[in-house]
Amino acid sequence: MMTSTEINGLTATEIYNLSAGQLGGLSTSQITALSDNALNGLAGSQLAELSTTQLAALTATQVSALSTTGITGLTDSQIASLSGTQLQALTSAQLAALRTDQVSALGTAQLAAFSTGQIGALVDSQIASLSTDQLNSLAATQIAALSGNGISGLTATQIADLSSTQLQP
């Protein structure tokens, strides 16, 4: 079994070359020992193989180190399992890279935890994929933070479902 020091020394190339079985065999303490550089080397297919327990072990810093192509590999259930702290660590580029089904998998509490900057990073197709409950979980400041692209993604039904509080500037 590799020590935390050995795990921390893995390069992006070395981590990329690990099989799904090897990644699945990493303990949570080994997951937390992975360097940002190594985590950035994980492919989407590799991230999809991690258990929700392994994902829960990632620190906010580690989550922000994941590549945009890697983050798109997360399954809907993995996305739904991320903590508020982990989601708040996502960069604008990572958020913009999320697939619409990943955005749809976010819980209302997860969306409510996003900063206005993070909400502003969502693109039209992602906004259009939000359910009424998801959209209603957003604060007025979050609605106001939607970029032009995000606003254009709102459907007529979504606009009609916004509360008067959410529409206040």
Q: What residue spans define the domains of the chain?
A: 1-73, 91-169
Task: Report whether pLDDT(44) > 80.
Answer: yes
pLDDT, residue 169, reads 62
- Average of per-residue pLDDT across 135-163: 85
| Separation of alpha carbons 142 and 69, rounded Å | 26
| Average pLDDT of the chain, as a whole number | 90
Task: Report whether pLDDT(21) > 90.
Answer: no
What's the token pair of residue 78?
């993995």
Q: What are phi and psi of 93, to 5 degrees?
A: -65, -40
pLDDT, residue 168, reads 74
At 75-116, the pLDDT tens digits run 999 999 999 999 999 999 999 999 999 999 999 999 999 999
What's the token pair of residue 39?
């985590």
| Separation of alpha carbons 21 and 24, rounded Å | 5
pLDDT, residue 96, reads 92
Signed CA dihedral, 150, 156, 162, 166: sign only: positive
